[in-house]
Amino acid sequence: MADGVDCIGAGGGDSRLAGPAHACGDVDAGRCGVGAGGVPSGASTGSREAVELRDGDAARYGGQGVLRAVEHVNGEIAEALTGRGFTDLAELDAVLVDLDGTATKSRLGANAVVGVSIAAARAFAQAAGTPLWRYLTPVGVAPRLPVPHFNVLNGGVHAPNRLDFQEFMIAPVGAPSLAEAVRAGAEVYAALRARLAGLALATGLGDEGGFAPDIDAPEDVLGVIVAAIGDAGYRAGRDGVAIALDPAASEFHRDGAYHVAGQALSTDDMITRYEEIVARFPVWSIEDGLAESDWDGWSRLTARLGGRVQLVGDDLLVTNPTIVTDAVARRAATAALIKVNQVGTVSETLQTMGICRRAGWGQMVSHRSGETADTFIADLAVGSGCGQLKTGAPARGERVAKYNRLIEIEATDALPYGLR
Ligand code: PGA
Ligand code: ZN
């Protein structure tokens, strides 16, 4: 319960400051609690995502400034919230949704709305005297520490190399605890650096902290990662360190074909390629294996591979409750990627996660390639009990901050670790 809310917005930058800058929200829930929220930004965005409002003034940040979004926080949003009491976050978020009035938050800007919603969640948790993750736990759900998915090798639009697949993640599914999972992630990451250096490949980093060597075939990358898992002394597989992929296929789908390492593949050829990959390598999850427009392909992919690996929709589903409901009916995936800024408010995010849970779907909470030091998603992953979080490599402060937050939660509360 907040007796009166006050709200301030300010501009700030994300991890790609040379490009985008962002609005952050600050909510002061009267004498009850104070919260701030940082706003992330994607590069391989889904076309149906909530809309980021950018100034388009070429003289500032190459048109990516957010003065208008900040103005909306300090103007219309502050006016609608200030001095009003709210029983919970859902009520406050509903005011934000109504005030914006569009399906995609395009009037006020999802980058204005989401910072306020995250800040409000913190303020409500503080007012309730409870850790943020516990405030976010739905009734009847058991919180747990998620399996961290470390994106150790970057391609696609996150790196200037020839690699078409965007993300190669290591997931210590078999680790006994979160702390041991983070240790495994860091040790495999170090072993991978040594392997790449030994092959005279570049060890510079992509946007999410993974290495960005100039390798083009995904199978070659997988071979090096499996070797690095062994070098670090771990077993490659679900009883040790498994692999998760995010090819982000919308980005290499052009003219009706998937363009991978110089080949043009049909949807069915692409699915066959994944079948071969899953047969050869310990891949447990594939996100955006097909393009966001290829709905029939997704249903065929799920029929052919859904029994063996998790199939996660990101660009396909954009954390949107209506789209996820439709995808469940069409059996078009088996899990959803969860990004708060794709839908715009924390309450709508929790609604989408509830739909997944009731459908028996997986949920993987996710950062964006442009990030701030905000650690909200770590608490969301724990509180929702979903068992999976991807937030980059064990490198770069904005990524490590989330893993450190998980370690902090584990140190203070004895919660179970692992996949749901
Ligand atoms: P983005 O990519 O944050 O650049 O959109 C992340 C992802 O595709 O999962
Ligand atoms: Zn993705």
Q: State the catalytic residue, choosing from 71, 167, 251, 339.
A: 339
DSSP class of residue 319 equals T
Q: Is a pLDDT exceeding 60 seen at residue 345?
A: yes
* Average pLDDT for 82-92: 91
Ligand nearest to the Cα of 341, by number: 1
* 127-176 per-position pLDDT tens digit: 899 999 999 999 999 999 999 999 999 999 999 999 999 999 999 999 99
Query: What band does 3 get if pLDDT is binned at 50, 70 and 90?
Result: low
CA 9/CA 164 separation, integer angstroms = 38
Instruction: Name the amino acid, one letter, at 144.
Output: R
Our mutation pick for probing the ligand 1 site, out of 44, 207, 343, counting the most ligand atoms within 8 A of Cβ, is 44
Question: Does the beta carbon of 126 sit less than 6 angstroms from any atom of ligand 1?
Answer: no
Question: Does the beta carbon of 41 sit less than 6 angstroms from any atom of ligand 1?
Answer: no
* 17-34 per-position pLDDT tens digit: 544 445 556 666 544 567
| 3-class DSSP assignment, residue 217 | coil
pLDDT score at 31: 44
Q: How many CB atoms lie within 10 A of CB 44?
A: 20
Q: State the catalytic residue, choosing from 49, 71, 187, 208.
A: 208
pTM: 0.96
pLDDT score at 21: 46
* 205-261 per-position pLDDT tens digit: 999 999 999 999 999 999 999 999 999 999 999 999 999 999 999 999 999 999 999
Q: Which of 127, 130, 121, 131 is nearest to 32 (CA)?
A: 127
Computed over every residue of the chain, the mean pLDDT equals: 94
Question: Does the beta carbon of 44 sit less than 6 angstroms from any atom of ligand 1?
Answer: yes
The count of residues in the chain is: 420
Ligand nearest to the Cα of 391, by number: 1
